[in-house]
Homo-oligomer: A and B are copies of this chain.
């Protein structure tokens, strides 16, 4: 526990350095009072929402989620609709119009969650439990938390007779974790309905110091699944070892060729075309709290990559990550075989100036340069026998490019001002490391996007035991109240 203590100390220093900022927003303060009196009711409603399994591929349950989210909005006086395309999770749309409003603000979140293996969870992913001040459940943070924070904020404003300043729209998506495959189609079919002066993207975590963070872009994403082949069946490692190529070793060599020890990607042209940051953005990065050492201790990391550059700076580069790797069985189930295949799943994070197809084709070209004959489906016997090395590479088109809104726009400055009045000091970032399909909103609707996250960074999102710190839910409710009342 020594390390946890050190981390807490490190983060506290950062936090107090910013404590001079006053949290003075009246709507936020009113929201806090109301919340303190209604915590149990808020949590009850939230836990009910988290209890509905929410994989985008599980359409019956995803529709149950959509209905529940729709009811939640209607309870707060929003007019709602489900925007659908056949076979896809619906977008839950809601709006509260204010006669004479000068602006329309669109709040975006998503109610679906990442795929998971229930065996890895300490408690079942869709049986939410509260322990140690956190709610444990799939999507507790990513990304049902902002939906609940907005609902509670609307209740609080209503109870405090504080009016909304602008027209407000809600767009809650149901297949973000599956790549938002149908979102663009839905945006294109409902352009007028979905346009606003700004889309506030309520997704992702706040800063690791637990300070509020406002983010002006997101990295894009593309994935690749690579399988390399040995013999047509697993072989006895004694009888064939030294002679039959081992696909696990082939994969290790292939992956190792992609990055150096500092994490720099060695694939030709991988960094070509990156759109440079503006001055305001560079200053924001320089001013971001220096949390790397504290974070390293929190995460038990003996080193980091990137030749000493800070995390916040490194997020402005594309990345190549092995998100999973497997060949035969390891650990207790291992047996003495030469595996027949070996597979790796890779995700590529993209920045402005590099498209998903570009990034994928650079990796594909690299695999070819390592001597592989590349196919896009399981190779047959003739292919496997006639080529020294065969790789199946599946490169789905479901990825999307990065997006970034200038910090110099008037609406950017206004969001920052309100957030600081509600939540104190704000960390301003040109981009988040994660991916949300912001590009669609700017390309299809012509609206700028600004990301307003509320979850804790240590939330295990995308992994097992995902959780939301209760204090982040309460802070999020105050921030949403301020934005609803003042933007």
| A positions within 8 Å CB-CB of B | 2-3, 114-117, 204-205, 218-219, 221, 223, 225, 229-246, 248-249, 251-253, 255-259, 261, 263, 292, 296-297, 299-306, 311, 314-315, 317, 319, 321-339, 342-345, 347, 349, 381-382, 384-390, 432-435, 457, 460-464
Contact = CB atoms under 8 A, between A and B. Distances in A.
19 contacts: A2-B382, A3-B381, A3-B385, A233-B299, A238-B434, A242-B317, A242-B433, A244-B304, A245-B301, A251-B252, A252-B252, A300-B381, A302-B387, A323-B328, A324-B327, A324-B335, A324-B337, A330-B343, A335-B462
Given A241-B349, A244-B305, A256-B256, 10 more contacts: A116-B335, A234-B460, A241-B433, A242-B314, A245-B301, A248-B324, A251-B325, A252-B252, A326-B330, A336-B347
B462 A236 contact: yes
A57 to B, nearest CB: 9
B322 A230 contact: no
Nearest to A370: B261
A117 B332 CA distance: 11
Q: How many copies of this protein are present in the complex? A: 2
A324 B334 contact: yes
A215 B241 CA distance: 17
A469 to B, nearest CB: 15
A433 to B, nearest CB: 4
A432 to B, nearest CB: 7
A325 B323 contact: no
Given A238-B433, A305-B242, A344-B330, A231 B300 contact: yes
A367 to B, nearest CB: 14
Contacts of A342: 325
A337 B305 CA distance: 16
Leading 7 A-B pairs by shortest Cβ distance:
A238-B434, A324-B330, A241-B319, A256-B256, A334-B345, A252-B255, A231-B299
B302 A2 contact: no
A109 to B, nearest CB: 17
Given A231-B300, A232-B300, A381-B3, A463 B335 contact: yes
B245 A305 contact: yes
A395 to B, nearest CB: 14
A237 to B, nearest CB: 4
